[in-house]
Amino acid sequence: MSMPALAASFLTAAAVSALPAQGPDKGVTTFPNASGASATFSTAGAIDGGNPFFQSLGSNGRSCASCHQPATGWSVTPQSIVQRFEDSAGLDPIFRTNDGANSPHADVSTPEARRKAYSMLLTKGLIRVGIGIPANAEFELAAVDDPYGYASASELSLFRRPLPSANLSFLSTVMWDGRETFADPQSPDCIKGTTKCYASIPFDLADQANGATTGHAQAVQDLTAEQRMAIVQFESGLFTAQVFDANAKDLTIAGALGGPRTLASIGSYFGINDVVSGDLGDDMLSGGPGIDTVAFRSSAPGVTVDLNQGEASGGPGFDHLTEFENILGGDGDDDLIGDAGPNVIDGGSGIDACSQTGDEYDTHCDDVGERSGARRISREHCATWRKHYRIIHTGAGP
């Protein structure tokens, strides 16, 4: 399939004419959406419609693209699925009973029966994943109440929307539940300070591509090593992001860094955006490069966290902190102090006081009034306070 043919299958002439001018950037393909337009950039230079990603390699007519469509952020949306149902009377390859229907036993003999059978897919964009309870599960199944009459202890029905097959360079795990993330004691990708190491993301994605083909596409044999590699290389080169907003207009001009090319230029590695817990006593905690968060979510007493001084106290221990940008408070009344850079601070529950250090950002935020000499400002002010500081939650105060 040629690039023009591929683009034409997702964009109408009217939609294309309504988009902002794209200029000479031939590596970016633009798609309209409800709030404006998104775009995909491929590091290979073009979206290769002949890649195995677009080929039916199973027995039910599906390809990877059946559930990972360029026009919808390399996933699917209920609106796009409804249109495919109407265009095909519910016979498009995405509509298959093995996982597209609410139950594998659903009646799909007529269009109206299919509309009922695929209701979760049509209304929420959800695929059914049938998985049994693991032998080492940390829970017990007390009862089964499946309105579709199928789920049991031997096969739970787990509904989830397909994850985007783009921006994959930012992954640390594969799949919603991480089940395609494999341990590898010989790997250099390890959780800092532990011996827990994991296989590379390309290795995990190759296994995921094969599992999706034998499962979702019901292939009778595994993908070849060449097919797996081709799919992983293709999707690993895809970056997608919003480029135009109906209100904000072009998101790539006047210093704005929207769009997929910016994403493609951002370096990433395993653990770059760690959330490190400080709930386990006296710790020496380092976030390293990237945007990292230190968390005290299980701390009942209030904690004092000062990113400028690199210290945390008052909870389960005294911690020394380096290279953290964000803070998650606990259940108590916390004092959370950022540094001179951009911070995101979530106070959790309790009565929390928040402040920014540095000459320009010394305003204090206290969501119930005076405490520890902090000058009160409104929660609305906190939520939008200065361009370098953002409070996303400050507890249950007024």
DSSP 202-236: HHHHHHHHHHHHHHTS--SSPPPHHHHHHHHHHHH
Q: What pLDDT shows up at residue 90?
A: 98
Answer for the pair 99, 216: CB distance below 8 angstroms, yes or no. Answer: yes
- pLDDT less than 70: residues of the chain: 1-26, 192-193, 271, 273-283, 297-299, 315-317, 349, 351-398
Q: What letters, b where the CB count within 10 A reaches 16 and e where it falls short, cover 9-22?
A: eebeeeeeeebeee
Dihedral Cα 260, 266, 271, 273, nearest 10 deg = -80
Distance CA 67, CA 217 (A): 11
The size of the chain, in residues, is 398
Contacts 24+ apart (CB under 8 A), 259-266: 259/28, 259/39, 259/41, 260/28, 260/39, 260/40, 260/41, 261/25, 261/27, 261/28, 261/41, 263/41, 263/167, 263/239, 264/41, 264/43, 264/239, 266/170
Q: Where are the alpha helices (DSSP H) in the chain?
A: 3-8, 13-18, 78-88, 111-117, 119-124, 201-215, 225-236, 260-264, 379-383
What pLDDT shows up at residue 20?
38
What pLDDT does 281 receive?
Answer: 56
Say what the pLDDT of residue 373 is.
34
Q: Which two tokens stand for residue 374?
A: 């902090």
Q: Which of 128, 68, 140 is nearest to 99 (CA)?
A: 128
Output phi, psi for 158, to 5 deg: -110, 120
Tell me what pLDDT residue 22 has.
40
Q: At what angle do helices 201-215 and 225-236 cross, to 10 degrees?
A: 110
Contact 173, 203 (CB under 8 A): no
User: For residue 351, what pLDDT is reported?
Assistant: 65
Look up tokens 């400028």; give the residue: 308
Q: What integer pLDDT is reported at residue 371 of this predicted model?
A: 34
Residue 288 in tokens: 């390293």
Residue 276: the pLDDT is 60
